Structure 1
C-alpha cells in the first residue's frame, strides 16, 4: 500500500469527532468557554509598545518568552525570578484552564481571574503570549491599525504532536492515549487546530515589518545566533558576554530546573490536592529535536510525513529546510 493510500485509510479509520467541550470559531477548534472571551479579544486595545509572542502550543513559546523578556528588560535575571506567567501573561489563559480543569470540582480550583481583562487593565508595559491564529487576534493587529512587535515560533509538527500529548497529561483527568492524540491532531479536533492553518496564518505575513518568525529547530542548532536575531528585531544590541550569559540561562537543563518557567509549582499543587492517579511527568521533558522518533511508530511517521507534504505543497515553507535537516538528537 502506498503512503498516500495509508494516510487516506488512516483518516477514515481513525477520524476523531469534535468533543462536546470544543467548538469551531472562524475555522479553528477552541474550548466552548472561549465564546465568552471572543468579543473581548477581538476588541482588545493593542498598544504600540506591546510585545506579542505567538505560536501553536508546544512549539517552544515558553523558551522564547524567557528570551524575549530578558532581552527587553536589560537582562534582569533577578526580575526573571518572578513567575513567567506574571511577567509574560497568556492572553486566553482563562478559557483554556477552564477547559483543562473541567473534571475538577469548582471548590477545589477556586475562582479563575479573567486573563483578557487583566491584560487589558495592565498599566505597565505588556508582554503577551497567545497560541491563537492570526484570524483570532485583536482586530487592531489584523487590520494593521496598531503594530506591536510580534514574534512567532514554529516547530516540527511530529515533535509538537508528541509534546502536546504529554502536556495534556499534566492536567488532572486527562486519559487520552498517544494514538488518540495523534488522531485528534491529524483530524483537527484538538484545541488550536488545524495546525497548518494556524502556523501559515503567520508564515504568509512575513512581509509585515513588525513580525518575526523563528523556528524551534534553528534555536536549538544555534542559540547565540537566535538571541542576536531576536535582539536585533527588538532594537537591542547585546555584546558577546551578554549573549553568552543569556545562552547559559536559556539552556534546556537550566530552564528545566527554573521554577519561574517550568510550571512545577502548578504540578506540585495538583499533587498536593491529590488530583493525580499517577505521576504526570514534567512540563519540560526532553527539549530534543526529533524526539518523536522515540514514541511514534514508523507507519505513523510515514503518514505524518505525507500529511506534512500535502499541507506545505503550495507554500514557500520548505519543510526539509526548516525541520528535517536540523538535528540535535543526543
Structure 2
C-alpha cells in the first residue's frame, strides 16, 4: 500500500491570477486559493470547510464517485446507483440520492442572501446533508485523492471509490460550456483553454487530479474507469462495476440498464440532467472526440504536447 501523506497545509491566495479572477469572480465567489504542494485550485470559501471535510466521518459501506468535473460524473453516478440499488430506476433527483459532498464550499451564497429562500438543504450545508443520508450512502465529490477525508486516505475506513476520467481535450471543452452556463464564466474559449492547461481552474490541475488517484490504484476499494470505455463498451464497464460492488444481474437486466444509461435517455431524464436546478446544457454532446468541433489544429497540437509532457511517462493514455 502506498505511503499515507497528511494534507499539506500550504495554502496560497491566487491574487495574481488575473484571468481566473477577472472571468470567474462573481457575487458568490470572491477569490481562489491553491491547496497543497500540488497547487489544487479551489474557491476561497473552501477554507471554511477544509477541516470539516478532512475530519468527515466515513463508513466502509459508503460508495464514492470521484472525478474531475465534466468527465462523465453524472453518467457514472446513475450507473453506480442503479447497480447498487437492485436496478432501481427512480425519479428522485440524483443530487438528493447521490449528493455532491463539497458543493456548499464552491458557492458562498452568504453574499447572495436573496437566494437563501430558494436553496435546498443540499446546497445550504452539503456536508450535513450527506452526513444524514441513510446507509449505504452514495456520495459524489470532485476532490482529488489528496483532499478526500482523512479516514479514506489513511485506510482507517475503506468505502468503495469509483474514479472516472476522460480525455482532457473533451473534458476541457465540456468544462468550458458548463462554466459558461452554470458558473458565470465570461471569458472566451481561448482564455478558458489557457486556464485549463495552466491548472488554473477549480479542481485543477487536471494532471495532478488524475495522477492522485492512480497513485492509489492498487487499493482493493478503488476502481478506475474511463468515459471512453463507457462509450465504447458500456456493458463491460457495467459488469466491472457490478463485480466491484458485489452485485450480480442477468443479461436481460443489464440490457435494460444499458438502455436506461444511453445518452438520449440520460439527457431526457429530469432526475439526472439538473433541469430543475437551472442546469442549462448540463448534458451537451456526449461524443468522444467532439473537441475537434471547437479546437483549432494549433490548439489540438498544443494539447497533444501538453499530454505528452504531463502523462508521457505514466501508464495513462488518451
Partner of 1:251: 262
Query: Among 108, 119, 122, which residue is 2:115 paired with?
Result: 108
Evaluate the alpha carbon distance shift between residue 175 and residue 244 of structure 1 in structure 2; reply closer, same or farther with a 3 A threshold: same
- In structure 1, runs of 5+ residues without a counterpart are 1-14, 269-280, 324-330
Report the alpha carbon displacement of residue 106 of structure 1 after superposing the two structures with TM: 2.5
Report the alpha carbon displacement of residue 18 of structure 1 after superposing the two structures with TM: 4.9
Partner of 2:49: 37
Distance in structure 2 (CA, Å) of the matches to 1:191 and 1:43: 22
Partner of 2:92: 82
Distance in structure 1 (CA, Å) of the matches to 2:158 and 2:309: 33
Partner of 2:104: 94
Query: Among 196, 205, 221, which residue is 1:194 paired with?
Result: 205
* Partner deviation per Cα, 1:159-214 (whole Å, 9 max, x = no partner): 00000010012227431211111011011111001100001100121110100000
Q: Is the CA contact (8 Å cut-off) linking 1:51 and 1:128 kept in structure 2?
A: yes
Distance in structure 2 (CA, Å) of the matches to 1:172 and 1:160: 16
Distance in structure 1 (CA, Å) of the matches to 2:184 and 2:248: 46
Question: SS at 1:209's partner residue?
Answer: coil
Distance in structure 2 (CA, Å) of the matches to 1:208 and 1:108: 42
Query: Among 22, 38, 49, which residue is 2:32 paired with?
Result: 22
Partner of 2:160: 149
Query: Among 52, 58, 61, which residue is 1:49 paired with?
Result: 61
Q: Is the CA contact (8 Å cut-off) linking 1:42 and 1:137 kept in structure 2?
A: yes
Question: SS at 1:128's partner residue?
Answer: strand
Report the alpha carbon displacement of residue 315 of structure 1 after superposing the two structures with TM: 1.3
Q: Within 5 Å, give how 1:6-21 maps onto structure 2.
A: 18-19=20-21, 21=31
Evaluate the alpha carbon distance shift between residue 295 and residue 16 of structure 1 in structure 2; reply closer, same or farther with a 3 A threshold: farther
- In structure 2, runs of 5+ residues without a counterpart are 1-16, 22-29
Report the alpha carbon displacement of residue 33 of structure 1 after superposing the two structures with TM: 0.7
Higher mean alpha-carbon deviation, 108-117 vs 306-315, is at 108-117
TM-score, normalised by the number of residues in structure 1 = 0.83
Q: Within 5 Å, give how 1:1-330 maps onto structure 2.
A: 18-19=20-21, 21-26=31-36, 27-77=39-89, 80-98=90-108, 105-110=112-117, 112-171=123-182, 173-267=184-278, 281-317=280-316, 319=317, 323=318
Q: Which runs of at least 4 in structure 1 moved beyond 6 Å after TM superposition?
A: none
Q: Is the CA contact (8 Å cut-off) linking 1:16 and 1:184 kept in structure 2?
A: no
Distance in structure 1 (CA, Å) of the matches to 2:210 and 2:199: 13
Report the alpha carbon displacement of residue 113 of structure 1 after superposing the two structures with TM: 1.5
Partner of 2:4: none
Q: Is the CA contact (8 Å cut-off) linking 2:19 and 2:191 kept in structure 1?
A: no
Question: SS at 1:169's partner residue?
Answer: helix
Distance in structure 2 (CA, Å) of the matches to 1:228 and 1:291: 27
Evaluate the alpha carbon distance shift between residue 143 and residue 309 of structure 1 in structure 2; reply closer, same or farther with a 3 A threshold: same
